[in-house]
Structure 1
Amino acid sequence: MAGTTVADGGLVERAFEAAAVELGVVPGTPDHAEKLAYVRATMGESKISVFRHLFGTEDLARRANTAFEKAYGDLLDGGLVEPIPGARAAIEELQRDGRTVVLTTGFARVTQDAILDALGWQDLVPLTLCPADAGGRGRPFPDMVLEAFVRTKAADGMRQVAVVGDTSYDVLSGVRAGAGMVAGVLTGAHAEDAHRASGATHVLASVAELPALLRGIG
């Protein structure tokens, strides 16, 4: 969602700052810089998985994740989130074309719901998924893509599934799931070279280009 259909103005990094302070990571130190670099490199991954890597123990990871979710929610309350230009129209156009759209995220459900509420998108699509909805493993694992396939029953096989995202982890999850189309978009965390290196079949300026692309492919 963030970076693909939703512009959050860098709220992930700002919320990480709050989580890091909560766990005693001092801004301006090499430790802080190293952890922030890892957060940037793993955009799209389940946030609890990121914190497990950064802080080592389950207790510290959960403390960091709770602080992150609270900080992100507080920032959302400040109105600092909006749709990527053309994203809602693209979703509605895809659905008019008879396609089923599922929104997935590396955030926890509470954060995902807060974003949907902030945008007025709670009823926009028939299904939204976070890592916990797919057994707990987020990207780059294929689990959320496969869960969407199983739950919606909208396709006869994975070759009829298109995965679109702004990070290399989004692309990897689609490739690993066997999706017929895996597109990277340039409105978020990673550039074209990262998408191509991860196996993207297409790179789009934004998700707004997706309906026309799919109609062209058939």
Structure 2
Amino acid sequence: MVDAPENTRNSQDIRLVVLDMAGTTVADGGLVERAFAAAARHVGADPEAGLDHVRATMGESKISVFRHLFGEETKAQEANKAFEAAYADLVDAGEVAALPGAHEAVEELRAQGRTVVLTTGFARPTMDAILAALGWQDLVPLTLCPADAGGRGRPYPDMVLTAFLRTAAAQDVRQIAVVGDTSYDMLSGVRAAAGVVAGVLTGAHGADALRAAGATHVLGSVAELPGVLT
């Protein structure tokens, strides 16, 4: 599925592609919700009470989500640590997998001469565990979590702009493509003034939410991206 009318003419200028992980290149399969439930129980909270907020804010840094839900910094930090531990256990149990065609899409994008960066709302230890589980440690030249970009995750543009500065792959932010499965991914791309802001339908949010947040393209999956950019 491709919805990319007026922006296709800009796609060939893309030099830097910033890809989300869970829900975009990595199958989520409800792992975030399961890890959140474990974290909520760990701090004595009702998992069901915050689930709607967790779903609505998929893509945001997890510590920000817990600060919103629990208010108290100590409790938020404790919940975040429990979340990361629960998610790591799921990764160790082999419950994380690449989405179909994701690895091949990254390789094709790089073969086209584009620089690819992977980003996440998870903390660095969790990100590294996912990359190791998939054998993706050397797939791209740069991976970023919120802490790598000063601490602010999506919907802020910080990770996108950090990728822009660190890679020096693009001369203009309009040569950036930002790709994700949530409205927060789209907002981060819009706020970074990226030339392409593409939503994929393999994760948390549907086409209407992605478009409402500023998606210039809506794709069935990241596997379609190399073709769109050529």
Q: Which 4+ stretches in 1 moved above 4 angstroms?
A: none
Letter in 2 for 1:189: A
Displacement of 1:9: 1.3
Given candidates 153, 159, 172, the residue that maps to 2:168 is 153
Q: Deviations over 1:28-82 (max 9, x none)?
A: xxxx433011001100000000001011011111100000000000011111011
Could you tell me whether the CA contact under 8 Å between 2:181 and 2:200 is conserved in 1?
yes
Q: Deviations over 1:7-43 (max 9, x none)?
A: 03111000001100011013xxxxx433011001100
TM-score normalized with structure 2 length: 0.90
What is the rounded CA distance, in whole Å, between the counterparts of 1:144 and 1:8 in structure 2? 21
What is the rounded CA distance, in whole Å, between the counterparts of 1:111 and 1:6 in structure 2? 13
What is the rounded CA distance, in whole Å, between the counterparts of 2:28 and 2:133 in structure 1? 11
Report what 2:124 is aligned to.
109
**Seq. identity, %:** 74
What is the rounded CA distance, in whole Å, between the counterparts of 1:184 and 1:8 in structure 2? 16
TM-score normalized with structure 1 length: 0.95
What is the rounded CA distance, in whole Å, between the counterparts of 1:9 and 1:200 in structure 2? 23
> Is residue 92 from structure 1 mapped to residue 107 from structure 2 by the alignment?
yes
Report what 2:36 is aligned to.
16
What is the rounded CA distance, in whole Å, between the counterparts of 2:28 and 2:188 in structure 1? 22
| Bigger RCO of structures 1 and 2 (CA < 8 A, at least 6 apart) | 2
Letter in 2 for 1:148: A
Question: Which consecutive unaligned segments of at least 5 residues does structure 1 have?
Answer: 27-31
Give the aligned CA root-mean-square deviation in angstroms: 0.6
Question: Which consecutive unaligned segments of at least 5 residues does structure 2 have?
Answer: 1-20
Report what 2:139 is aligned to.
124
How many positions carry a matched residue from both structures?
210
> Is residue 82 from structure 1 mapped to residue 97 from structure 2 by the alignment?
yes
